Each structure stands twice: as structure tokens, then as C-alpha cells.
Amino acid sequence: MKINRCHTKPGTWLWVIVAMFVVGTLCPPQAQAQMPARFYWKSLSGANAVPLIFESLSGNTNPFDPAHNVSADAEIDATMALTGYAKFFPLFDRAAMAAVLLPMGRISGDVTVAGRAFSQSVNGFGDPMLEFVVNVLGPPAQMNIPDALRYEPGFSVDLLADLALPIGEYDSDQALNIGQNRWYGRLGLPIILQLGPWVPGRRTTLELLPSVWFFGDNDDFVGQTMETDPKFQLDVHLTRDLTETLWGSLDGVWYYGGKATIDGVSGEKLDNIALGLTLGYQINDNLSLTFGYKSTINDDAPDDLRMDNFMISFVYGWHKMVQGMQRLKSEK
């Protein structure tokens, strides 16, 4: 978006910068390890964000585990809260972000593993997730206010790396756990395609994230060893500003692979699709709110992945440069 300083009021500059900053930190990663809409929009370097997310999930898989190993006829419910911190910074003139997310909550259900039936309810802290993202194709990092005013994503490609630390609560006698007792992570390429003008209230994007998840072995899964093949995942979002402070997104995700083997007995690989909707709202200059719902659609067979998820999130974002501009504006 090109801004002519001779015809733009300082208050308008501030609003545009704040809107771009808050939207850029709007959606932290979800428990289902799906790319939220607009999460990889770029913010002014030096920006910070703290999310608070609540999720209600149900299906035939453990939602704390991104491998999504299916247990036929299982009925699993989970309530999850997540909090974390994200920081935006320049890396060799490219926009970069580092984030950490800590899941916590409860999970309960009836599940059968290797011929053994389990009925249980557990709660506690999950495995912390570390994330690093750096832009490799697209506009350079936003280092100052003029950079933020001129920013348009155009066609942008990032390099993404996630790593979960296996320190969450785990009981080897239980089939359902909040921690996973193994290392896991993913590599991906977040892609943003700008469609049309980059003006608040009119912004439209097509966003893709092809990624591959890798899983270490769990050598004490109810007394057995569980191995999981890599899982391919493709997240797709078509997003559109509805007003200057409200936006919506049509969401889709495809899971493929991730076959689990427990003590030499192999399960089925995933080949499932989920669809959903997201609404985001900018409450004020620093606080944003999102609602989202996603559910699998090809889930009629017993071995199909069946999962639905409702999410509400609050994200508080700040930047010392923007906060300083706000103070100067309020003193006038």
C-alpha cells in the first residue's frame, strides 16, 4: 500500500501501523498443529505478542499429539488452554519470528490400544513447542515506520521449523497422555499470495503451508514401542477483510501418511480432509480476538480420522515504537 505523506494524517498513519502489527500477531499455533489464517503475516521488527487460547476438541485421536494416530471407535474429549510468546526480528535483512507455546489442559475418553481397553481422564501440562520462521522470498524486514507503511506481501515464501520438547506430563501405563514421551517437529514452507490491493478493509490473501512432520519413537507406550512414519500436511486459507477491524477465512487441511506401528503391528496411514471457518476481530490497538471451528469431512469409516475443534483466542501485542507513537498522540 503506497501512502502519500502530503495527504495522510498522522492519526491515520498510526492506525494503519497498529492494524498491520496486531493482524500480524493475531493467531498463534493451535493444538491440532494446523496453520491458523494470517499467522505468518509479517510485523514490524521488534514486535511482541502473548497469546491465550482456549480449545474444545473431540474425536477418535489424541488432540495433544500431532501424529493423530486413530483408534477405531474411540470417543475422546479434550479441553485445552495454551499460552506463549512470539518475537519478530530481522535476520540478514529478512523478516523472522521465534515463538514458544505451552499447552495445558485435560483429556478423557475410551480407547483401545493393542487389544487393551482404556477408560481414563488426565490433566496437566503438555510438551512445549518451539517455532522459528524466516522469510526467504518477499519484501525485506520492516525496520521502521516508513517500511511498515509501504509493506505489501505480494508473493511471500517462508522457511518454518518446529520442535516439541518431550517434557510434558506422561504416564506409560495410560494410552492417553498430554505429553508424548518423544521428540517430534516439522519443516514447512508458509506461502502468502496477496490478491488485490493492500488496504485495510479490502485485503485478500490465499495462504498455503505444505509441511512434513517427523516423529521419534516412544519406547514406553503402555509397555510397548510406538513408531510413526512422517506425516505430510497441507493447510489452505482464503482470507478476506470484512471491515477495517473484522476479517474472515475459509480453512482447509489435508493429512496424509503418519502410519503408526506398535511393536511391529502397523496401523493405517492418514488420508483425511478437514474444513473450517475463522473470524478475527481487532478489539483495540493491542488486543485481538479470533473464533474458529474445524471438522473432518471424510470420516465415515472406523479407521478414518474423526476430529472437530472449536477455538477462541486472545492475543496481546505491543511494540515500543508504536506504543511511543500512541503516547505522543494522546498528549496532543
- The pTM of the full predicted model, rounded to 2 decimals, is 0.88
Assign 10 a pLDDT band (cuts: 50, 70, 90).
very low
**Exposed e or buried b for every residue in 288-319, given b needs 16+ CB within 10 A?**
bebebebebeebeeeebbbbbbebebebebbb
- Per the structure, the complete domain to which residue 42 belongs is given by 5-331
Mean pLDDT of the chain: 86
Higher pLDDT among residues 327 and 63, named by residue: 63
pLDDT value of residue 275: 96
Higher pLDDT among residues 332 and 310, named by residue: 310
pLDDT in tens, 126-167: 999 999 999 999 999 999 888 888 889 999 999 999 999 999
Q: Are 283 and 299 in contact (CB under 8 A)?
A: no
How confident is the model over 200-210, as a mean pLDDT?
Answer: 94
What would the 3-class secondary structure string for 21-55 be?
HHHHCCCCCCCCCCCCCCCCCCCCCCCEEEEEEEE
CA quadruple 174, 176, 177, 181: dihedral positive or negative?
Answer: positive
Q: Which range, 43-47, 145-149, 227-231, 318-322, is most confident?
A: 227-231
3-state DSSP call for residue 208?
strand
* 1-5, 91-95, 203-207, range with the lowest pLDDT: 1-5
Q: Are 246 and 261 in contact (CB under 8 A)?
A: no
pLDDT in tens, 31-51: 444 557 888 888 888 989 898
Which string of DSSP letters, residue by residue, matches 73-124?
T-EEEEEEEEEEEEEEEEETTEEEEEEEEEEEEEEEEEEEETTEEEEEEEEE
What are the distances in angstroms from CA 318 to CA 139, 164, 275? 22, 26, 32
Alpha carbon of residue 171 to chain centroid: 27
Assign 208 a pLDDT band (cuts: 50, 70, 90).
very high
pLDDT in tens, 264-282: 888 889 999 999 999 999 8
Which string of DSSP letters, residue by residue, matches 141-195?
P--SHHHHHH---SEEEEEEEEEE-S-S---TT-S--SS-SS-EEEEE--EEEE-
Instruction: Kindly report the CATH number assigned to the domain that includes residue 218.
Output: 2.40.128.130
pLDDT value of residue 138: 94
Greatest CA span in the chain, whole angstroms?
A: 73
* Total of domains in the chain: 1
Please give the Cα distance from 178 to 78 (Å, whole number): 10
For residue 3, pLDDT over 60 is answered with no
Q: Are 256 and 249 in contact (CB under 8 A)?
A: no
pLDDT value of residue 34: 55
Q: Are 56 and 67 in contact (CB under 8 A)?
A: no
> C-alpha grid cell for residue 236?
489452505
Higher pLDDT among residues 43 and 328, named by residue: 43
